[in-house]
Amino acid sequence: MLNFIYNIILLLLIPILVPLGYIIAYRKGEDKDYFERIGFIKIDKNIEKSIWIHCASVGEVRSIKTLYSTIKREFPDLSIVISTTTATGKRIAAEELNPDVAILLPIENRWAISYLLDILQCKLFIIVDTEIWPNLINTVHKKIPLILINGRISNRSFKRYKMLQFIFKPLLNKFTKIFTKSPEDTDKFKELLTTEDKLKTLGNIKFLNFSRPEDLGIIPPNKRILVAASTHEGEEELVIDAFLDIIDLDIFDQLVIAPRHLNRIDSVKDLCTKKGLKISTLTKYNSDVDAVIVDRFGSLEYLYSLSLKIFVGGSIVNIGGHNIFEALQFKKVIAVGPHMQNFQEIFTLALKYNVVKVIENKKDLIDYLKSQYQNADFENFFKALEFSSREKLNPIIEEIRDAID
């Protein structure tokens, strides 16, 4: 009954959502493939056997690089289909992974999904991270095995899932297997499903995906910069105060602040100005200012590659931390706060091999900014990550093997 009501609502909304969505896509320059979202997808290849991997956007696409190459190596005759929710995600998938088929997901169009499963000869469907699309899940479940990898439920989402457990429990039960990011996530799924038969804790598969950032050519390579990345309210002030306290030591030429949410740029600008810093934005870069505010997406790895020191936010305030591998891949000891529970696995390894410094206050941050870390063991840190990555992928590979045999 719930599924019937859901689809009636979708049908009523289509006359509004389709043209509105097209206008938005046109304004963003993403109208070329827009109608794939509705289900108008042309497959111009003869696919004999495939698996379909769905990724929400760029982050999820890049997170499966190691998995993708492993599948290609283990099953050279198997075609791989990648769908994304965003146009940028599709472009990155095509450019960086080069799958046999890259498409935009026909959102909640069960007829299009069913048709594609047949024409692509799909044997297994993989959803990356916790993407819950009822029609997608119900349609796939009727035809082929469905697994979830990198499964995670935030504390905020968990409250909503529990309140609507009568909706989410049947959907989650449609998965053949759910591979979670942490024991804490496994416990949350277990509470929702009231069973652990489908669950296995693998850890985060996003790590060990090295990338070569595009040289944006904005900041001179000889500029000595301190990068504060993915910051939240309260963290910028801490970094600014530490930067100002050591400004006379001539360690850094500039502070670069990349707020986690771009809608906070104005407030970060106001804070910098209040503290007496001359500022510019990254898109209008000025070499002579004290601080640069990042006002565009997709710049972090470029900035990490140039930096002398890095602070990754979401960790002083209790957000749970953000991805630190993107910074650590450049073999630079980074600073984070104590709240790294969302990335506990890599954080624990980083502590073990002395490639991360935990700070709790301004004094800690100043000590980090002034110190050299000669005992950082990046070689064994990356070896440990590689071993962990291989171990994690084995159960997924076995699910694929069972599905295609």
Average pLDDT estimate for 273-293? 96
Burial of 169 (0-12, 13-18, 19+ CB in 10 A): middle
Average pLDDT estimate for 200-206? 82
Is 379 a known active-site residue? no
Phi, psi values for residue 378, rounded to 5°: -70, -35
CB 122 within 8 A of CB 51: yes
Determine what percent of the chain is predicted with pLDDT higher than 90.
Answer: 65
Average pLDDT estimate for 329-336? 96
Q: Grade residue 25 by pLDDT with cuts at 50, 70 and 90.
A: confident
Q: Note the pLDDT of residue 207.
A: 64
Q: Which residue has the higher pLDDT, 285 or 25?
A: 285
- 145: pLDDT strictly greater than 90: yes
Q: Grade residue 345 by pLDDT with cuts at 50, 70 and 90.
A: confident
Task: Give domain 27-209+389-404's CATH architecture.
Answer: 3-Layer(aba) Sandwich (3.40)
Q: Which residue has the higher pLDDT, 84 or 181?
A: 84
From residue 27, how far is each of 23, 200, 222, 396 by CA, in Å?
A: 6, 43, 37, 39
Average pLDDT estimate for 251-271? 96
Q: Note the pLDDT of residue 191.
A: 92
Q: Annotated catalytic residue: which of 36, 60, 108, 235?
A: 60
What is the DSSP-derived secondary structure letter of residue 314?
S
- For 146-200, the pLDDT digits (tens) are 999 999 888 888 999 889 898 899 999 999 999 998 888 999 999 999 888 899 9
Whole-angstrom distance, CA of residue 242 vs CA of residue 183: 36
Question: What is the residue-wise DSSP string for 365-401?
Answer: HHHHHH---TT--HHHHHHHHHHHHHHHHHHHHHHHH
- For 364-397, the pLDDT digits (tens) are 999 999 999 889 999 999 999 888 877 888 999 9
CB atoms within 10 A of CB 280: 18
Superfamily of domain covering 225-384: Glycogen Phosphorylase B; (3.40.50.2000)
Whole-angstrom distance, CA of residue 392 vs CA of residue 396: 8
- H helices present in 173-262, as ranges: 183-193, 235-245
CB 177 within 8 A of CB 198: yes
The pair of three-digit structure tokens given for residue 163, joined into one six-digit string: 């309140």
Q: Lowest-pLDDT range, 86-95, 103-112, 199-208, 265-274? A: 199-208
- The mean pLDDT value of the chain amounts to 91
Q: Grade residue 45 by pLDDT with cuts at 50, 70 and 90.
A: confident
What is the DSSP-derived secondary structure letter of residue 95?
I
Domain residue ranges of the chain, discontinuous segments joined by +: 27-209+389-404, 225-384
- For 68-79, the pLDDT digits (tens) are 989 999 999 999
CB 309 within 8 A of CB 256: no
Helix (H) or strand (E) holding 84: strand 79-84
Q: Note the pLDDT of residue 380.
A: 96
What is the DSSP-derived secondary structure letter of residue 230?
E
Using the structure block, give the residue that is written with the tokens 């069972």: 402
- Domains 27-209+389-404 and 225-384 are alike in CATH topology: yes
Question: What is the residue-wise DSSP string for 182-197?
Answer: SHHHHHHHHHHHT--T
- 35: pLDDT strictly greater than 90: no
Q: Note the pLDDT of residue 210.
A: 74
List beta partners, residue 254. Answer: 225
Q: Note the pLDDT of residue 374.
A: 86
List beta partners, residue 53. Answer: 82, 126
Q: Note the pLDDT of residue 208.
A: 65
